[in-house]
Amino acid sequence: MQLPSPKFFLLSIPEPHVLLITINRPKQFNALNPEANHELSGIFDWAEQTDEIWCIILTGTGGKAFCAGMDLVNWNKERENGEDKQGTESQMPPTGFGGLSNRGLARKPVIAAVDGYALGGGTEMVLACNIVVATKKSKFGLPEVKRGVTIAAGGLARLARAVSYQLVSEIALTGRFLTADEFKKYDLANEVVEDGTDIVQAALAWAKKITANSPDAVFITKYGIMLALERASMTEATHEWMASEEAVAWRNGENLAEGLAAFASKRAPVWKNPAPLRKSKL
């Protein structure tokens, strides 16, 4: 499998079927400019379409920040030069900040490995991840109101569906930072580890739990979760889920037969790459 060669990110396969994406802008605290936003969206598109990838880990380099959000210094320079397009759709992919915060019915589980600041768009990306692992020193927040901007890349809606009306109001209207322990207290993080812990290894422990399962079953389960969040009716979401192309691929896939045969034979299953869908679910 040939990995892409992006400008702002480091890509690797630390474990079978696991793609590690490392944001590599340490001088900017891994903040993303428009070019980096589109590039990361393209990486997620590629991962969604690559059968060998079953799970994705997203982290940041430098040990100080996961992602400090939008590159506001770059945005200010554009405004001073009369070239401000950063707040427009042409400068932000439809899939949201980093191509993740407003991504819809994607198949592959995403794990956030946070070691340091995850602010603004960084928190928006974290809120879109399936699993969140963070060191105790990590800080989260949506401080856009402190800079005269707003939370426009999908994170506000995700947060409003995840916590109470009063709590999302507190976080979004004051712009205050939250500690990693607070984030876990509000069920927005799965695990908080001690500072100095290798955060990628901590995330890989979760990834290996996921990739030990049938990829077809994992993908269709994530699809069902996303439909339940996106649709107004739970029952309609379930009917749509079971009638979907994703469900057809799961029913007709080799891994369903393998799982049942392995259970009947009292042996460990041997999973294969799932068959690709006929239509993209990006």
Cα–Cα distances (Å) from 1 to 17, 47, 109, in that order, read 11, 11, 19
Give the number of other CB atoms < 10 A from CB of residue 229: 13
Whether the CB-CB separation of 135 and 195 falls below 8 Å is answered with yes
Whether the CB-CB separation of 135 and 199 falls below 8 Å is answered with yes
As a 3-state breakdown, the chain gives helix, strand, coil percent values, each rounded to 5, of: 45, 15, 40
Whether the CB-CB separation of 110 and 116 falls below 8 Å is answered with no
Task: Please state, in angstroms and rounded to a whole number, the distance separating the CA atoms of residues 245 and 249.
Answer: 6
Q: Side-chain half-sphere of 17: how many Cα atoms within 13 Å?
A: 21
Task: Please state, in angstroms and rounded to a whole number, the distance separating the CA atoms of residues 214 and 74.
Answer: 43
* Given the residues 39, 78, 124, 246, the one annotated as active site: 124
Considering only the C-alpha atoms of the chain, give the largest distance between any 2 of them, rounded to a whole number of Å: 69
Please say if 144 is a catalytic residue: yes
In the block, residue with structure tokens 């900040």: 97
* Given the residues 80, 83, 89, 144, the one annotated as active site: 144
Please say if 245 is a catalytic residue: no
Whether the CB-CB separation of 102 and 153 falls below 8 Å is answered with yes
Q: Side-chain half-sphere of 139: how many Cα atoms within 13 Å?
A: 14
Residues 6+ apart with CB under 8 A from 132: 111, 112, 114, 126, 183, 188, 189, 190, 191
Q: Catalytic site residues?
A: 124, 144
